[in-house]
Amino acid sequence: MSTPQGQLWILVDYTACSGCRLCEIACSLKHEGVIWPSASRITVYEHYPGAPVPQYCVQCPDYPCVNACPTKALRVDQATGAVLVDPSLCTLCLKCVEACPGKIPKVVKGKKYVLICDLCMGDPVCAKECSRAGYNALKVIRKPANTGIKHYAKPGSTLAEELGRKYFT
């Protein structure tokens, strides 16, 4: 499977992440026009002090969520590789959440469709915000050809637990 030219990926540096959630704030400001962390497409989990883990859609090469959607509300944006949600087709049946190995699509009170990172159509605001604040924990790169990226798709609490234990126990 080849990765089309131009498709993106956000590479996270756990050691650089301060756990500040500016990515969540920027994401919700961009997508919802307000500061609304619950509706952010990126979420930071922190089970141990200083071991925060930002979690977001990793665009699995086989896109199990897209395949699981019974209403065709999800599709892959060929330009960026992001999963796009069609709000008019999504019925919040949660089949995509079940199919996602990280349970990443978000269901939020007040939104009538699931929320999935759209890579800001090619210019992710979370990464920009992170750099502006000087942390540089999120770096936009060309989508890796390596299928191992799928292994980042794990529940946020699992990631936070694994990372924290490595540091602190």
Partner 1 sequence: MVYLFGSWGRLLRVDLSTGRMSTEEIHPMTYRMYVGGRGLATYLLWRELGRKWRDVDPLGPENILTVLTGPLTGYYPGIKLVVSGKSPQSGGVVGSAVSSHVAYAIKAAGYDGIVVSGASRDPVYLYVKDDSVEVRDASKLWGLRGLELVRALRDDVGRDLPSLYIGPAGENLVRTAAVMARWFHAAGYGGYGAVMGSKRLKAIVVEGSGPLPPVANRDDFAKLRYEVIDKVAARTTFRRWGTTSGLWRVGYETSSEPIRNWQEEWHNREEFSHAPIERKHWVKNPWADWGCPLACMKVSRAVVDGVIYLTDGPDYEMGAYLGSNLGLFEVDKVIALSAIADDLGLCGIQVGNVVGFAVELFERGMLTEDDVGYTLRWGDFKSLKKLLEDIAYRRGFGAVLAEGVYRSAVEIAKRKRLPVEDVLKYAVQVKGIGVGAHGIRSRKDYPQPIAYAASVQGGDHTSVAGLPANSEESEVWSAFLDSAVICMFTSVEEDTVLKFLNAVTGWSVTKDELYGTIGPRILSLQRILLLLGGPDVRWDPRKHDDNPPRFYEPLPTGPYAGSLVPREEVSKNLVEYYRQLGWDDLGIPTEETLRKLGLYDAVDVVRALRRELGAS
Task: Return residues touching partner 1 (CB under 8 A).
Answer: 15-16, 18-22, 25, 28-29, 32-39, 45-47, 49-51, 108-110, 132-135, 157, 160, 167-169
Q: How many contiguous H segments (helices) and E segments (strands) does the chain have?
A: 5, 6
Closest CA to 85 of 65, 100, 99: 65
Within 13 Å of residue 65, how many CA atoms lie on the same side as its CB?
32
Q: Could you tell me which residues come within 8 angstroms of residue 33 by beta carbon, excluding any fewer than 6 positions away?
A: none
CA distance 98 to 93: 10
**Residue (16 or 121) nearer to partner 1, CB:** 16
| Euclidean distance between the first and the last CA atom of the chain, given in angstroms as a whole number | 40
**Residue (88 or 169) nearer to partner 1, CB:** 169
**Residue (48 or 122) nearer to partner 1, CB:** 48
**Residue (16 or 145) nearer to partner 1, CB:** 16
The least CB distance from residue 72 to partner 1, in Å, is 28
Q: In 3-state terms, what secondary structure has residue 84?
A: strand
Tokens standing for residue 168: 């602190």
Query: Do the Cβ atoms of 62 and 103 come closer than 8 Å?
Result: no
**Residue (66 or 120) nearer to partner 1, CB:** 120
The least CB distance from residue 37 to partner 1, in Å, is 7
